[in-house]
Amino acid sequence: MKYFYSSFFITLIGLVLAYFIGGFVAVYICALLGILEVSLSFDNAVVNAKVLSKMSQKWQDRFIIFGIPIAVFGMRFLFPILIVSIVAGLSMWETFSLALNDPDAYHAALAANKNQIYIFGGAFLLMVFLSFFFEEKEISWIKFIEDSYLVKILTQTSSMPLFIAILVGIIISYITSNLSYSITYFCGILLHMALNLFDEIFSNNGVKSGFMGFLYLEVLDASFSFDGVIGAFAMSENIFIIMIGLGIGAMFVRSLTLFMVHKKTLESFRYLEHGAHYAILALAIIMFINIFHEVSEALTGTIGFGFIVLAFVCSLVANRRENG
């Protein structure tokens, strides 16, 4: 429980601030946004825990000290403002003023470019899944897929994740016939490759270096936050209410990450990492679908959480068979 004390403390402060901003209605909306963020990012916590467990204690502490402000203020507040600023050709201050004084126009500007945001995040998350799926693993979960002859052959080729990602990008480019979408997609792929490239240069015996691991986690967090930030406007157009609500959820995701690292949850529940990555694949696919047809955040969160629960149950069953 001690891992969640800071989250409860921040939640209390956030809800008090929300009350002064908009009364009990704002408090209720913040609570809903926090739940939404946790449901959408539960798989994020599992993957974070895997990366964080390979980092030194110093960088684990920095993930909390510096990662929380970045997650709350950077990804849930400044990042949407930056997106609107770029696409609207306005300065950051002008965009901030627009968000304060004309939230409808701000939301419209953000929504008008949400497809590029979805494509970028989907491309990055697709690479995260493919890199996991085609790496050699001692444990398999969905064996008829992961242990199939074809997958075993393809796993021997290090370029397979990139090959599939490029193929998906070509298909998306053909279907949409939109140059902006194509550039955005391949920028997401390029960012993932760049992070891995620098990680290989600065890592020590295959373990992610402190800074590169930290940077990877923040980019991963940003990819998961896209859906929540855009969907949050369905509940409120006040950027401060959105930041508080999503920030509360981000805090609990961080606490959950630390809990899993220190309790070695991924070692105890062997399929959790697999479930999280299948949830990541589902989220990437949903982001691509969102280009053509809007998928509700409730369905997105349910699918992701469903994979985690299923992996957890399968882990329990496997542990009982092994011990009994």
Strand partners, 207: 204
Q: Are 304 and 39 in contact (CB under 8 A)?
A: yes
Segment 224-239 shows an average pLDDT of 68
Please check the confidence at residue 246 and state whether its pLDDT lies above 80. yes
Cβ neighbours around 29 below 10 Å, total = 20
Nearest partner of 76 among 290, 227, 214, 234, judged by Cα = 227
Whether the pTM exceeds 0.95: the reply is: no
Helices within 156-296 (DSSP H only): 160-176, 179-202, 210-232, 239-262, 265-268, 272-289
- Looking at residue 185, what is its pLDDT? 92
Segment 216-229 shows an average pLDDT of 70
Counting residues of the chain whose pLDDT is more than 70, the rounded percentage is 87
- Residue given tokens 């406007």 in the structure block: 233
Strand partners, 204: 207
Please check the confidence at residue 205 and state whether its pLDDT lies above 60. no
Give the span between the Cα atoms of 277 and 285, in whole angstroms. Answer: 12
Please check the confidence at residue 206 and state whether its pLDDT lies above 50. no
Beta strand residue intervals within 33-149, DSSP E: none
Segment 28-39 shows an average pLDDT of 81
The more confident residue out of 62 and 316 is 316
Nearest partner of 128 among 38, 43, 52, judged by Cα = 43
- Residue 120: what residue type? F
Residues in contact with 177: Cβ distance below 8 Å, sequence separation at least 6, in sequence order: none
Domain count, the chain: 1
Range of the domain at 250: 2-323
CA separation, residue 71 to residues 64, 127, 320 (Å): 10, 21, 38
Query: Taking the C-alpha atoms of 198, 201, 207 and 210 in order, what is their torsion angle to the nearest 10 degrees?
Result: -60
Give the span between the Cα atoms of 170 and 153, in whole angstroms. Answer: 24
- Looking at residue 166, what is its pLDDT? 95
Segment 18-46 shows an average pLDDT of 82
Cβ neighbours around 177 below 10 Å, total = 8
- Looking at residue 173, what is its pLDDT? 92
Rg (the chain; Cα; Å): 20
- Looking at residue 305, what is its pLDDT? 80
Give the span between the Cα atoms of 206 and 76, in whole angstroms. Answer: 32
Range with top average pLDDT, 27-36, 214-223, 285-294: 285-294
The more confident residue out of 179 and 254 is 179
Residues in contact with 256: Cβ distance below 8 Å, sequence separation at least 6, in sequence order: 3, 38, 42, 45
- Residue 154: what residue type? L
The mean of the pLDDT values for the chain is: 80
- Residue given tokens 């006040």 in the structure block: 238
Segment 252-258 shows an average pLDDT of 82
Give the span between the Cα atoms of 310 and 307, in whole angstroms. Answer: 5
Of the ranges 104-113, 184-193, 197-206, 268-277, which one carries the lowest mean pLDDT score? 197-206
**3-class secondary structure, 263:** coil
54-110 tens-digit pLDDT: 777 777 777 777 777 777 777 777 777 776 777 667 788 888 888 778 777 777 777
Please check the confidence at residue 168 and state whether its pLDDT lies above 90. yes
